[in-house]
Amino acid sequence: MRIAVTALLLSAACVARAEPPAPGPGPWIRVNQVGYLPGDPKVAVLSGPEPLTGRYTVVDVASGMGVEGDIGPDEGPWGPFAHNYRLDFYAIRGPGRFRVRFGDVESPEFAVGPDAYAKVPDALLRFMQIQRCGDDPIAGEPKCHLQDAIDVVTDEKVDLVGGWHDAADRLKHMITTSYCVGALRLVKGEAAQAEARHGAALVKKLHPKPDVIYVQVGDDRDHRPPATLWHDDRSDYGHGPGGPRSAWPATGKPEGPKYKNASTGKASLAARCAAVMALMGDVETARSMYRLAQASPGVAMSVPVLAPHYYGESSDQDDLEWGAVELYRATREPKFLADAVAHADRAGDNAWMGRDAHGHYEFFPYVNLAHWRLYDLVGPDVQARLAGYYRSGLERIRDRALKNPYRIGTPIVWCSTNDVIAFATQARMYEAMTGDDQFLDLAAEARDWIFGRNPWGVSFVIGVPEGGVASSRPHHMFHRLAKRLPVGGLVDGPVTRAINDSLKFSPFEDDPLAPFQSDFAVFHDEFADFSTNEPIIDGTVSLLLLLDVWDPR
């Protein structure tokens, strides 16, 4: 990049707003609205309907001084845009707040500096606190669902109070809850550990007997009217409005009263829960859960009732590896290390990486954390295999990402933000394991997609950054009923137009993001859109983990 320093004045009219600006005729500049660490790759994308030439400037907001450069070559049509250009400003090291300017067009303001992400983890954790269920809500929130739950098989009362509501609804998925606890446990800081302890109390209760583990509390009967907040749930699970909810045990076979899931065993859930309990220091419970996983190989899926949709994992090997490696770390018993290596080789790389699409939660949690946890415990030969499993998936994503100006290479499916974050996390973990930083630039591009460097120019983290253009009308009852924005929740993110068109939404007003929709991807910052704008606990925690491994200070 050829650079020159010039004095520039900033226009107060271009200050970033929570509402997206009027689309206008373009062009548009998309940036990561949170910002960049000093050593990060830094690329804005300039997109519009007409060919462009000339120079752009990165402006220091405080001083009005700017660094100029030539726009890159036209990368051609992609998504909603006929012309796309990449603006590289790696040379900006900060600290400070900046904008990118091309002609009369300016980007939202963003930070560059070592503390660019300092406020984001707290926001993500505040969202997890909002999602708390049971007798331990955050200060000022009513308690809720204190009658959880009644076993649907035995009709016995079982204590499954606690945990988190999975998303905008009030039911609790143990598939995502178990992962969230384990990932939180791996994040530095007491706030993350406090949230991990909150979730771990429920994970322990999922396994009251040696052959029992619960996969879900409540079900989609939760979606029936009336729509209420957590503490005023009037759903009827056969025990009267607002009565005890259903506890669904994993049975190792397809389950559901009308629509059936495709469950084949209990191992995916039981082994993940074993990893969680080992991480939390409860080795006895971890051992019991791991024995159950070994006795019942296969995958446990969530249970559909009113509609045929469910979370459907396809493999238990990554979970068995994770359970074994955490038990080895806790006990140093060689059998667990041997198990971990065997399951690691069976798990291999992430099969979703490089695909156009995959099933709903088919490859959850999208990045195999066990490979990373196992790496420093084994010899060079096993390390080489583990690194290879990570690298091969990353290479397939890179092949796809390099074909478009936004460098996005993950599938655009329901909960697409999970895939984006998983790629970036795996890239950073691979670098930490091997010292090979060949995927660093693409990991940064994936992270930047989450925080606004995407065709819509919207951060997919509700209300983050403060004052930025971020999701502000999420599909969440706190927003709809309490007029309270659940700041910090990561929303599902864009889906293909084909997925969008297959769904039935409640009507909403004219879409301010309409000029940026395309066959490739659709995103609506509207309450009605439950497929792109609903916050999810697993994605929120995944993003927290990514930020933690990104900057390991």
Dist CA 294 CA 270 (whole Å): 9
Whether 194 maps to a domain, the answer reads yes
Q: Which residues of the chain have pLDDT under 50?
A: 1-18
Residue pair 487/127 in contact by the 8 Å Cβ criterion: yes
Check which CATH number belongs to the domain holding 278 and give it: 1.50.10.10
Whether 525 maps to a domain, the answer reads no
303 shares a domain with 196: yes
Whether 46 maps to a domain, the answer reads yes
Q: Give residue 27's pLDDT.
A: 96
Answer with the one of 299, 329, 347 that is the final residue of a domain: 347
Q: Give residue 141's pLDDT.
A: 78
167 shares a domain with 48: no
Check which CATH number belongs to the domain holding 91 and give it: 2.60.40.10
Which residues in 68-81 are b (16+ Cβ under 10 Å) and which e?
bbebbebbeebbbb
Whether 421 maps to a domain, the answer reads no
Whether 153 maps to a domain, the answer reads yes
User: In whole angstroms, how far apart are CA 326 and each of 36, 182, 259, 372, 382?
Assistant: 33, 10, 35, 11, 17
Whether 28 maps to a domain, the answer reads yes
329 shares a domain with 196: yes
pLDDT, tens digit, 9 for 90 and up, residues 178-220: 999 999 999 999 999 999 999 999 999 999 999 999 999 999 9
Q: Is 407 helix (H, G, I), strand (E, B) or coil?
A: coil
313 shares a domain with 170: yes
What does the DSSP 8-state code read for residue 500?
A: H
244 shares a domain with 199: yes
User: In whole angstroms, how far apart are CA 533 and each of 172, 180, 218, 491, 515?
Assistant: 19, 20, 22, 5, 18
Dist CA 231 CA 133 (whole Å): 9
Q: Give residue 3's pLDDT.
A: 32
Q: Which residues constitute the domain of residue 33?
A: 5-112
Residue pair 248/152 in contact by the 8 Å Cβ criterion: yes
Answer with the one of 283, 316, 347 that is the final residue of a domain: 347
Domain total in the chain: 2
167 shares a domain with 49: no
Whether 543 maps to a domain, the answer reads no
192 shares a domain with 68: no
173 shares a domain with 82: no
Residue pair 76/15 in contact by the 8 Å Cβ criterion: no
Answer with the one of 332, 347, 362 that is the final residue of a domain: 347
100 shares a domain with 159: no
pLDDT, tens digit, 9 for 90 and up, residues 505-520: 888 878 999 999 999 9
What's the half-sphere exposure (Cβ side, CA atoms, 13 Å) at 491?
Answer: 34
**225 φ/ψ angles, rounded to the nearest 5 degrees:** -60, 155
Q: Give residue 136's pLDDT.
A: 79
pLDDT, tens digit, 9 for 90 and up, residues 451-499: 999 999 999 999 999 999 999 999 999 999 999 999 999 999 999 999 9
Q: Is 45 helix (H, G, I), strand (E, B) or coil?
A: strand
Whether 257 maps to a domain, the answer reads yes
One-letter amino acid for residue 55 of the chain: R
Q: Give residue 139's pLDDT.
A: 61
Q: Residue 40 region, left (φ>0) first, then alpha (ψ -120 to 50), else beta?
A: beta
248 shares a domain with 161: yes
Which residues in 370-379 are b (16+ Cβ under 10 Å) and which e?
bbbbbbeebe
235 shares a domain with 103: no
176 shares a domain with 38: no
